């Protein structure tokens, strides 16, 4: 029960790290509490709403009652399975905007600017345009992570991009290429009709090395002696044991569980640790702080023609799709159905997009409940850079207990202003001529909901998490009192211990978090191995020439 490196968490970043360390000839043990990813609910892209609602695959976290959302407790799914959240997510692949990473660098995460991270995005990708456009010069061609595009056969999917163009926005052929801003096709971690998780891309090949293995157990705490991490205490089969790390321990347990594990190990705000009788190893005020997420609304429109996916939303239709997928890995089951995207700026004077759209050619909720109106379509919309910050703290010193999750959503005036803008801009796009042949009544919020007060009430009741929590073990300068890890992902104040996952993001990125989480694992692996960083790529991203004076 020892290895050179012990990694806690077989999620997006942990799988990538295991792969690179095993490839370099190091012995690796990955500790994962969840089990196998086998089964159609995870593997079939169209079934994405199932695994995130299944206790077998999901930690089942809930937030505390949110004070600004009428006391609602918000679902906070995190993957408890090989592949982590990459095995239960929506499979949407968004790198983030170049400015996100330049901002990280400015915030103290030196060496994480866009020029620094772009080579890692390219290293991890195996991008397939499939004849559907895109920008090969900006994309990786030989990486472990397959990235594809949907067939975009549904007329509503194309109408959404055309409506964006008609509303005066840019169209972009590849938001993961030079130009994020605009409307265009979505990329997805889907390959040959199945989900391509971090487990499949990275850990499965790593396990072919004799010196890499997975131990299924619950991590209790990091074992620290004389300020140095020497292993991980685990529980499996009702017994406690220690897995020893000859070189380092790496925590990649998610933005919820990584700070929890640090605090259980005596690393965190001293006062909070004392409340739970935990001896302080390193007093780090930032552990569990800086919690960020994306919220979104579903703006739903009824369709007057039977063009949406609603016609398959019955037992027979689902069986037909399932059977076609099982036997051929093709058809509607082979897509996550998110095939058109949009990234726009909310107003003039903002230099890069701060609103994201996911378009879906059916009116349905994440829990699989379809709109009563039948045929319809929806745009998921939300601001990308909320100014609200929350925290993760311990409920108790028992490792089996879930931590206390307080997002503190919508706690600033700016958040409310941005959501009102989101609703109004979405309505404008859905009101364009491209949708005229299909457009029925607005299902949600409903055409009578127009005043600021009405929109705020709708947000309070209906806003949902996009499931992008991050930031709780912030990366920054060693002298930053709120930083938890330095720019090499080393925990400040403890030797031979690193954190590498979405918890180290200083600020949330623009879009879905799976791609930057995997990139974090890729780059962290080079830091761990003491290798020189990949050579910077100074490709210049597109910027709207009139951003100072024009919203579009």
Instruction: Extract the annotated binding site for FAD.
Output: 81
Q: Residue 354: how many CB atoms within 10 A of its CB?
A: 21
User: Scanning the structure block, which residue is given the tokens 């699989």?
Assistant: 368
Q: Residue 305: how many CB atoms within 10 A of its CB?
A: 12
Is 468 designated active site? Answer: yes
Looking at 97, 468, 527, 544, which residue is catalytic?
A: 468
Distance (Å, rounded) from C-alpha 505 to C-alpha 474?
Answer: 6
Which stretches of 61-109 are DSSP H helices? 98-106
Q: Is 182 left (phi over 0), alpha (psi -120 to 50) or beta?
A: left
In sequence order, what DSSP letters do the residues of 475-531 get, joined into one string?
B--TT-TT-SB-TT-BBTTSBTEEE-SGGG-SS--SS-SHHHHHHHHHHHHHHHHTP
DSSP three-state, residue 28? strand
The DSSP H or E segment spanning 424 is: helix 413-430
Output the 3-class SS for 220-273: EEEEEECCEEEEEEEEECCEEEEEEEEEEEEECCHHHHHHHHHHHCCEECHHHH
In angstroms, the Cα distances linking 339 to 151, 152, 253 are: 8, 6, 30
Asked if residues 128 and 136 have their Cβ atoms less than 8 Å apart, the reply is no
How far is residue 341 CA from its own chain's centroid? 16
In angstroms, the Cα distances linking 118 to 12, 138, 267, 402 are: 18, 9, 32, 35
Select from 180, 181, 296 the least CA-distant residue to 550.
181
In angstroms, the Cα distances linking 29 to 37, 69, 141, 229, 256 are: 19, 42, 29, 15, 21
The strand order across the sheet containing 125-127 reads 125-127, 145-149, 187-188
The DSSP H or E segment spanning 159 is: helix 155-166
Torsions phi, psi for 472 (to 5 deg): -85, -5
DSSP three-state, residue 465? strand
β partners of residue 393: 404
Q: Is 228 left (phi over 0), alpha (psi -120 to 50) or beta?
A: beta
How far is residue 361 CA from its own chain's centroid? 22
Give me the active site residues, please. 468
């Amino acid at each position: 029960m020892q290895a050179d490196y012990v990694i806690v968490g077989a999620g997006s970043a942990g799988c990538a790290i295991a792969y690179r360390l095993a490839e370099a000839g190091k012995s690796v043990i990955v500790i994962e509490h969840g089990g196998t990813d086998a089964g159609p609910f995870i593997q079939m892209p169209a079934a994405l709403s199932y695994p995130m609602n299944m206790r077998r695959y999901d930690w089942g976290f809930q937030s505390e009652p949110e004070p600004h959302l009428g006391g609602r407790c918000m679902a906070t799914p995190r993957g408890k399975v090989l592949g982590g959240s990459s095995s239960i997510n929506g499979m949407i692949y968004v790198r983030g905007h170049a400015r996100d990473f330049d901002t990280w660098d400015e915030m103290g995460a030196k060496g994480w600017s866009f020029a620094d991270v772009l080579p890692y995005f390219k290293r991890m990708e195996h991008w397939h345009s499939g004849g559907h456009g895109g920008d090969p010069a900006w994309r990786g061609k030989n990486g472990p992570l397959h990235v594809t595009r949907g067939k975009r056969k549904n007329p509503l999917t194309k109408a959404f991009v055309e409506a964006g163009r008609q509303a005066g926005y840019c169209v972009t052929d590849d938001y993961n290429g030079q130009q994020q801003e605009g409307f265009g096709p979505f990329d997805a971690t889907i390959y040959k009709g199945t989900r391509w998780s971090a487990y499949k891309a990275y850990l499965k090949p790593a396990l072919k090395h004799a010196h890499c293995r997975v131990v299924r157990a619950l991590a209790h705490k990091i074992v620290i002696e004389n300020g140095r991490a020497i292993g991980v205490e685990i529980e499996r089969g009702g017994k406690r044991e220690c897995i020893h790390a000859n070189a380092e321990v790496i925590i990649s347990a998610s933005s919820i569980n990584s700070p929890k594990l640090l605090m259980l190990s005596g690393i965190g705000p001293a006062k909070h640790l004392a409340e739970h009788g935990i001896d302080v190893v390193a007093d780090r005020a930032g552990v569990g702080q800086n919690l960020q997420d994306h919220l979104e609304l579903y703006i739903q429109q009824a369709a007057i023609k039977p063009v949406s996916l609603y016609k398959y939303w019955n037992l027979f239709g689902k069986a037909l799709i399932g059977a076609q997928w099982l036997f051929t890995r093709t058809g509607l089951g082979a897509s996550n159905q998110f095939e058109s995207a949009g990234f726009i700026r909310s107003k003039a004077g903002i230099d890069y997009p701060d609103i994201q759209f996911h378009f879906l050619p059916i009116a349905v909720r994440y829990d699989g409940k379809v709109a009563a109106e039948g045929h319809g379509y929806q745009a998921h919309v939300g601001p990308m850079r909320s100014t609200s910050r929350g925290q993760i703290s311990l409920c108790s010193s028992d490792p089996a207990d879930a931590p206390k999750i307080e997002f503190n959503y919508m706690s600033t005036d700016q958040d409310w202003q941005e959501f009102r803008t989101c609703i109004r801009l979405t309505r404008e796009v859905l009101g364009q001529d491209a949708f005229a042949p299909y457009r029925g009544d607005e299902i949600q919020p409903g055409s009578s909901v127009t005043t600021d007060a009405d929109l705020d009430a709708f947000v309070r009741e209906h806003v949902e998490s996009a499931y992008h929590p991050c930031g709780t073990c912030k990366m920054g300068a060693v002298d930053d009192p709120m930083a938890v890890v330095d720019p090499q992902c080393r925990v400040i104040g403890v030797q031979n211990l690193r954190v590498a996952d979405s918890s180290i993001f200083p600020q949330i990125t623009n879009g879905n978090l799976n791609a930057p989480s995997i990139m974090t694992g890729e780059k962290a692996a080079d830091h761990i191995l003491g290798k020189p960083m990949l050579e910077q790529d100074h490709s210049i991203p597109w910027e709207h020439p009139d951003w100072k004076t024009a919203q579009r």
